A and B are shown apart, each in its own frame.
Chain A
C-alpha cells in the first residue's frame, strides 16, 4: 500500500483545526482586555464592595422590597436579587432557617417566645460580586461579565438562557427572569452607583446594617466597617473572592 497517501492524509487531518483557528484569529477573535494601564486606572478609581453587619439587621425586609421596586424584579416569590434569611438556633442544637418570600414582608413570629432559643439573627444575602466569579467562568457566550470596578453584570440582550451561571453560583444569587428568559441578579444597582447614589437596599436599610462603598477609597462607611470588625465572607473555601463582607456572621450561616 503506497505510504504517501497515508502520510498526506494524516498531515491534512492534523492541519485542519489549526488552520481554521489561525484564520479565525487573524480575522479577529475578541481581544483580551484593554491596555493594562487604563485597567489599573479604572481599578484605582473604584472597586465596589458591600458590608453587612449581621448584628444590626432587624429583618424588616425593606431592602428586599426596595430592590424589587428599584430594579423591576418580578414580584413573585421565586425571583430575588436580595433576600433576608432568619436563623433560629435552639438550645438543643436544632437550627431553623427560613426566608418567607425572601423576607419581603418581614417575618412573622414562628413561635410564641424565645424561651429555648440560644441564638437568633437575620442574615441579608445578595450577589457577592465575586472577584473570581464562577458564574462568569461558565457563561458559554460572554453574556455575564465582571466590570473593571468589580461589579458582575448580565447582558440580557446577549444571554441565551442556558442557566449554567445559575447552577454555578454557590450562593443562589441568580435566577432566570421569566419575562426576558435571561439570567438576572443583583447589580449593586449599577445604574445608581455610577451616579454616586447608594444601591436601593443600602438606601432604605433602617439600621444601616448594609454599608456600601469603594474598597479603594479611604473614607466610606464600608472602610470603617472593614477596619473595625472581623470580617467574614460566605463560603470562603470555594475561593470565589466575594466582595460582600459580613461582620458578626455566625458559623451556622451557609
Chain B
C-alpha cells in the first residue's frame, strides 16, 4: 500500500488547478478501458455476421463463422478486466443475486448472460450442429467426445432438422442484432447517464459507443480473415475483402459524423464545462484524441479505405491498404475508449483542475495484465478454431439444405 500512496503523492504534485481531495486517485483505469473495447469488438463482430445472415450480403460469407467464433472468444474474456478491477471480485456474483435495477451496471449480469447464452452460444450451436453430428460420427478419440458433447447428443440430420437449424440461426440473428446493440449500448449508457461528469454525460454516448463498436468489430474481422487466410496459405477472397472494407468505410463515416456532431454541439452550446474540457483536450488528451483517435484512427483509415476501395489499384496493394487501415482503426478505437474513460477523470468535477493518469507496468491494474487480457481472446479463438473449424473445407461432406 505504501507504493500506492507514493504514486498518489506524485500525482498530487502534478495536479494543475484544483481537484477535490478525493479526486486525486483516479478510479477507473486501463482495465475499465479494456471492457468497452472488448465488448465493442464482440458487438461489432456479431453485427458483421448478421449482415451476412439477415441482410444476405453473400460476399462476406467466408467470414461468417469466424465472426461468431471471434465474438465468442472476446465475450468470454470480457468480464475478466472487470473482475480484475473490482475491489472484491469474490463478491461479484452479488450482481446476479441482488441486482439494483436502477443501475445500468446491474444490467451487466443479465445482458451478458442473455447475449452469451441465448444469442452467441445458441447461434453457434445451431450453425454448427449438423457439422458437429457428422464430425463426431467420423472422428475418433478426444475430438469425437468433445463434438458429441457439444452436439448435446443430437443425432438428427434429416432435411427438416437441418432446415430448422437454418431458421433458428436466422431468428437468433434477428434477435441478436438488438441484443448486440444492448450489450454494448448499455456500456455507453453507464457513462452517458452520469450527470456528475460533463465529459461523459451525453445522450449521444451509447450511439457513439455502438458505432465505434461496429467499426472496431468489422476491422477486427478483416484483420483476422486476412491473417488466418495467410497462415493457412489460401487465396484471399477479394470480393469479401472489398465488401468488408466498404462496410468499414460506411461505418467510419457515420462514426466520424457522430463524433463531429458531439464536438460541434459542445462548442456551440458552450456550457460551463467547456473551459476545462478545452484545456483537457489541448493539454492532457492532445495526443490521444487529436492525433491518435481522430487523425490516425478515423480520418486516416477513412481516406485509405476510400482510396483503396474505389480506385483502380492492383488487388495486392488494395488488400494491404485495407489491412493497414483496419489496424489503424483498432488503435483509434482503443484510443477512443481511453479518451472517454480516462479523459473523463482527468479533470475535476469542480471544473477547476486537471490531473494525470499514472499507468503502472505490473500489478493488477498494470500494462502487462492488460496486454495479457488482450492476447487471451486470440488464444481462446485459436482453441475455438481448432474445435469448431469455421473454414469452408472443414465442413462435413453432405451439403446443407438451404
- Cβ contact within 8 Å between A78 and B88: no
Select the stretch in B67-75, B160-168, B281-289 that faces chain A: B160-168
Whole-angstrom CA separation of A222 from B22 in the bound complex: 27
B166 CB to closest chain A CB (Å) equals 9
Cβ of B154 under 8 Å from chain A: no
Whole-angstrom CA separation of A30 from B94 in the bound complex: 13
Determine which residue in B22, B167, B349, B352 has the highest number of CB atoms from chain A within 10 A of its CB, and name it: B22
Select the stretch in A109-117, A156-164, A203-211 that faces chain B: A156-164
Cβ of A106 under 8 Å from chain B: no
Contact of B106 among A1, A80, A134, A141 (CB under 8 A): A141
Using CB atoms, name the residue of chain A closest to B197: A167
Cβ of B141 under 8 Å from chain A: no
Using CB atoms, name the residue of chain A closest to B22: A175
Mark out the residues of chain A between 70 and 124 whose CB falls within 8 Å of any chain B CB in the assembled complex. 76-80, 83, 85, 95, 97-99, 101-102
Residues of chain B within 8 A (CB-CB) of A153 are none
Select the stretch in A33-41, A50-58, A176-184, A188-196 that faces chain B: A176-184
Whole-angstrom CA separation of A174 from B195 in the bound complex: 16
- Cβ contact within 8 Å between B195 and A160: no
Using CB atoms, name the residue of chain B closest to A172: B20
B118 CB to closest chain A CB (Å) equals 7
Residues of chain B within 8 A (CB-CB) of A13 are 118, 171-172, 175
Select the stretch in A3-11, A213-221, A223-231, A241-249 that faces chain B: A3-11
- Cβ contact within 8 Å between A172 and B197: no
Cβ of B25 under 8 Å from chain A: yes
Determine which residue in A10, A78, A97, A137 has the highest number of CB atoms from chain B within 10 A of its CB, and name it: A78
Contact size class for B?
A: 35 or more
| Inter-chain CB contacts under 8 Å: number | 156
- Cβ contact within 8 Å between B94 and A254: no
Whole-angstrom CA separation of A144 from B240 in the bound complex: 51
What per-residue 1/0 map shows which CB atoms of B81-106 lie under 8 Å from chain A? 01001111101101101111011111
B45 CB to closest chain A CB (Å) equals 22
Whole-angstrom CA separation of A169 from B21 in the bound complex: 13
- Cβ contact within 8 Å between A138 and B104: yes
Known contacts A140-B106, A181-B87: A98-B18 contact under CB 8 Å? yes
- Cβ contact within 8 Å between A9 and B18: no
Determine which residue in B1, B18, B89, B95 has the highest number of CB atoms from chain A within 10 A of its CB, and name it: B18
Number of A residues, CB within 8 Å of B: 57
Known contacts A161-B86, A164-B105: A176-B352 contact under CB 8 Å? no
Cβ of B278 under 8 Å from chain A: no
- Cβ contact within 8 Å between B167 and A141: no
- Cβ contact within 8 Å between B28 and A163: yes
Whole-angstrom CA separation of A5 from B165 in the bound complex: 10
Using CB atoms, name the residue of chain A closest to B345: A167
Cβ of B23 under 8 Å from chain A: yes
- Cβ contact within 8 Å between B171 and A162: no
- Cβ contact within 8 Å between A78 and B22: yes
Residues of chain A within 8 A (CB-CB) of B168 are 9
Cβ of A17 under 8 Å from chain B: yes
- Cβ contact within 8 Å between A167 and B95: no
Cβ of B142 under 8 Å from chain A: no
Cβ of A202 under 8 Å from chain B: no
- Cβ contact within 8 Å between A172 and B349: yes
Known contacts A1-B167, A137-B102, A163-B28: A238-B92 contact under CB 8 Å? no
- Cβ contact within 8 Å between A172 and B164: no
Residues of chain A within 8 A (CB-CB) of B175 are 13
Whole-angstrom CA separation of A254 from B196 in the bound complex: 12
Using CB atoms, name the residue of chain A closest to B350: A254
- Cβ contact within 8 Å between B94 and A141: yes
Residues of chain B within 8 A (CB-CB) of A60 are none
- Cβ contact within 8 Å between A172 and B88: no
Whole-angstrom CA separation of A180 from B351 in the bound complex: 30
Known contacts A1-B167, A178-B1, A182-B87: A140-B18 contact under CB 8 Å? no
A103 CB to closest chain B CB (Å) equals 9
A171 CB to closest chain B CB (Å) equals 7
- B: residues with CB less than 8 A from A are 1, 4-5, 8, 12, 17-25, 27-28, 82, 85-89, 91-92, 94-95, 97-100, 102-106, 108, 114, 118, 160, 163-164, 167-168, 171-172, 175, 190, 193-197, 345, 348-352
- A: residues with CB less than 8 A from B are 1-2, 5-6, 9-10, 13, 16-17, 30, 76-80, 83, 85, 95, 97-99, 101-102, 125, 134, 137-143, 158-164, 166-176, 178-182, 238, 254
